[in-house]
Amino acid sequence: MVKAIKVGVAALNQTPLAWDTNAANIREALQRARAAGVSVLCLPELCITGYGCEDAFQSPGVHHLALEVLRELLPDTHDLIVTLGLPILVGGGLFDAACVVANGRPLGIVAKQNLARDGLHYEPRWFQPWPRGVSSTVDFHGEPIPVGDLVFDVGGVRLGLEICEDAWVADRPGAPLAQRGVDLLLNPSASHFAFAKHWVRQQFVVEGSRAFHVTYLLANLMGNEAGRAIYDGDALIAHCGRLLARGPRFSYADVNLTTAIVDLDASRMSRAKSANLPVAAEEGDRGCVRTAFSFPTLGPAASSRFASAAHPLPAWEESRYLKEEEFARAVPLALFDYLRKSHSRGFVVSLSGGADSSAVSILCSLMVRLGIEEIGRDAFLQKLSYIPDLTTAPNEAELVKRLLTCVYQSTRNSSDTTRHAARQVASSLGARMMEWDVDEIVQAYITSVSQALGRKLTWETDDLALQNIQARARGPSVWLLANLQGALLLATSNRSEAAVGYATMDGDTCGGLAPIAGIDKAFLRHWLKWLETNGMQGHEPLAMLAVVNEQAPTAELRPPAAVQTDESDLMPYEILDVIERLAIRDKLTPREIWEQIQAQFTSYSGEQLSVWVERFFTLWCRNQWKRERYAPSFHVDDENLDPKTWCRFPILSGGYARELRELRGSR
């Protein structure tokens, strides 16, 4: 009987419906695994088609092509046992499945039993859950292939599968599989990134390996697969409650392989000694697919490597500033993949000198720095080879300049402070900087409308309209610049602004992508201060951010004498963000929120807090249409406001009128 084997998990940067690219990445993973002496390889969920195909999963052509690509990949699996994920039609139902292939032969297909249906997941829209205990077959090029919750006995090594969500539920398929004597549990996953989610994922991998007395392998997607969700590339291998190996997160590579040597005798004896895992002897062979396979013999040296296996964390993951580090690494990676997969030639940012646009610009520059730092200049440029003349950039700073253009667009209400801050940020990052004045355009609009109405527009009577026209007047010229450069215009609105509609549609929301629309302003300001004083692990602090951080956030749309600030228009951002979470995440009523925050914000009167709660709900209901129109944003927090991935709310509603009357009555 086989005593020790080498196993591997591969993180892949796939793209929905990119058949050739996805297949090439799979082949690269297979080649690396074989060269590394791996016998069993776990690949991510739906790796053939891509996970984020959405309604394209309902196309018959997608299913036919997926099966064809599976057939084309079979010769590349020689000397390997591997999972290849694809959608499968069985008996009129569509299932999220993984085909287990050994040495070029498809052995059987396991379908997902538990579908993700919360948050950004809509799997039940396309797939059905596989009923436990049911078995069937599918025709694969004239050969019947078994489908079900199968166990595979390959050369004396038993393995079973949990597919992503299967491991996140209480009634995990892993328990009955363990009772059927599996040595390995493989989990092909497409588990999106959210702050601190990695540690939850690692916990169920390690705990699953302990409770089921197995070696547990989890392979995840990597990068920005389909536009909104980011995948951190988690690759985890655990054995009997001990983490053996984990791969790098937020990698710019297309393929990352993580391996470990596992002692099967140890897990088998652990199971044999356990009084809490009854073995289902009668069912052990039911639904078991057997095939011969020759595992390489691993000698004493392999055993010693197993005994000393380590999984060092990069320094940034051991930092107490993990959320700050994750944000600084996840969004630049997402920007990089969005850039190259959309074949855009760079980014354009309307840089106001404030926190939001400065943060977006910094994230773009980090994309270059972190990408080159990890995969090297040549590989980084190869991924962007469609951009003309990029390879002639002599250094990293010039690369940033060619990929990032910042524009300061002033009006008579703009200050020297913000102009200086914008120049400082762009110069420090190495971005290309442009400046122009749009005040003449603004005044032309005001004059035209004033003449048509037969009256003069004034700040006393037309405040909001006069503010908005300035923001909107900046849109056409910066769009023109982005179009001329073939670049992607980035919107700079944040999550707090989205919650209350404190953004001008077709103004500061202009853009094809909104990188920070999923992050709240309070954290964003904290993050910029952290970059100024601490800096990312392995990188110098960005001292120049002092010119941004010293400012009070302001739209600069009213005359300077008005001393406009965001928080005087709205409320303190810290309070706004707390109210938003209590209202939208926790679904509390206005009065319940008011009663709760009085104990938290004791420096403000109950009357003032009540006014702010009412203001939040009024603005929230009034501005759902804006949230529906925002450019796509990145999912970084499992509590965000994106109506396309997380938070559904009606555009037209009663506006909490009754609830707000109750709140006013309790003041």
- In this predicted structure, the answer to whether residue 304 has a pLDDT above a threshold of 60 is no
598: left (phi over 0), alpha (psi -120 to 50) or beta: alpha
Q: Is residue 456 part of a domain?
A: yes
* Residue-level pLDDT at 284: 53
Give the lowest-confidence range in 284-288, 290-294, 517-521, 538-542: 284-288
Number of domains in the chain: 3
Yes or no: say if 6 and 261 are a contact pair by the CB < 8 Å rule: yes
Q: Is residue 454 part of a domain?
A: yes
Q: Which of 269, 218, 200 lies closest to 240 in space, CA to CA?
A: 269
Instruction: Write the pLDDT tens digit of every residue in 202-224.
Output: 999 999 999 999 999 999 999 99
Instruction: Write the pLDDT tens digit of every residue in 575-584.
Output: 999 999 999 9
User: pLDDT-derived band of residue 491, with 50, 70 and 90 as boundaries?
Assistant: very high
- In this predicted structure, the answer to whether residue 96 has a pLDDT above a threshold of 50 is yes
- In this predicted structure, the answer to whether residue 303 has a pLDDT above a threshold of 50 is no
Q: Are residues 153 and 175 in the same domain?
A: yes
Q: Are residues 178 and 262 in the same domain?
A: yes
What is the rounded distance in angstroms from the CA atom of residue 321 to the CA atom of residue 319?
5
- In this predicted structure, the answer to whether residue 315 has a pLDDT above a threshold of 90 is no
Q: Are residues 332 and 468 in the same domain?
A: no
* Residue-level pLDDT at 120: 87
Domain-ending residue, one of 285, 311, 337? 311
Domain-ending residue, one of 311, 343, 376? 311
What is the rounded distance in angstroms from the CA atom of residue 554 to the CA atom of residue 525?
13
First to last CA, the chain: 75
Q: Are residues 123 and 254 in the same domain?
A: yes
Yes or no: say if 473 and 442 are a contact pair by the CB < 8 Å rule: yes
Q: Are residues 268 and 387 in the same domain?
A: no
Q: Are residues 380 and 445 in the same domain?
A: no
Q: b/e map of 465-496 (b: 16 or more CB within 10 Å)?
A: ebbbbbbbbbbebbbebbeebebbbbbbbbbb
What is the rounded distance in angstroms from the CA atom of residue 128 to the CA atom of residue 113?
8
Task: Find the angle CA(362)-CA(336)-CA(374) to the nearest 5 degrees.
Answer: 85
Q: Are residues 262 and 357 in the same domain?
A: no
Average pLDDT, the chain: 94
pLDDT above 70 as % of the chain: 96
Q: Which of 519, 523, 542 lies closest to 532 in space, CA to CA?
A: 542
Q: Are residues 393 and 536 in the same domain?
A: yes
- The residue-averaged pLDDT of 462-471 equals 95
Instruction: Write the pLDDT tens digit of every residue in 399-432.
Output: 999 999 999 999 999 999 999 999 999 999 999 9
Q: Is residue 640 part of a domain?
A: yes
pTM of the prediction?
0.95
- The residue-averaged pLDDT of 25-48 equals 98
Which residue range(s) make up the domain with 283? 4-311
* Residue-level pLDDT at 195: 95
7: left (phi over 0), alpha (psi -120 to 50) or beta: beta
Q: Is residue 341 part of a domain?
A: yes
Instruction: Write the pLDDT tens digit of every residue in 52-74.
Output: 999 999 999 999 999 999 999 99
Q: Is residue 560 part of a domain?
A: no
Q: Are residues 469 and 490 in the same domain?
A: no
- In this predicted structure, the answer to whether residue 307 has a pLDDT above a threshold of 60 is no
* Residue-level pLDDT at 310: 47
Domain-ending residue, one of 457, 473, 489? 473
* DSSP-assigned letter for residue 562: G
Q: Is residue 317 part of a domain?
A: no
Give the lowest-confidence range in 180-184, 316-320, 600-604: 316-320
- The residue-averaged pLDDT of 65-88 equals 98
Q: Are residues 184 and 132 in the same domain?
A: yes
Q: Are residues 498 and 572 in the same domain?
A: yes
Q: Is residue 559 part of a domain?
A: no
Q: Are residues 469 and 605 in the same domain?
A: no
- In this predicted structure, the answer to whether residue 397 has a pLDDT above a threshold of 80 is yes
Token readout for 519 is: 């992050």
Q: How far is CA 226 from CA 2, 16, 190, 342, in A?
A: 41, 6, 12, 10
210: left (phi over 0), alpha (psi -120 to 50) or beta: alpha
Instruction: Write the pLDDT tens digit of every residue in 324-372.
Output: 999 999 999 999 999 999 999 999 999 999 999 999 999 999 999 999 9
* Residue-level pLDDT at 112: 98
Q: What is the CATH number of the domain that holds 288?
A: 3.60.110.10
- In this predicted structure, the answer to whether residue 308 has a pLDDT above a threshold of 90 is no
- In this predicted structure, the answer to whether residue 527 has a pLDDT above a threshold of 90 is yes
What is the rounded distance in angstroms from the CA atom of residue 627 to the CA atom of residue 497?
10
Q: Is residue 316 part of a domain?
A: no
In terms of DSSP H, where are the helices of 581-644? 590-600, 606-622, 624-629
Q: What is the CATH number of the domain that holds 536?
A: 3.40.50.620
* Residue-level pLDDT at 498: 95
Instruction: Write the pLDDT tens digit of every residue in 120-173.
Output: 899 999 999 999 999 999 999 889 999 999 999 999 999 999 999 999 999 999
Yes or no: say if 406 and 431 are a contact pair by the CB < 8 Å rule: yes
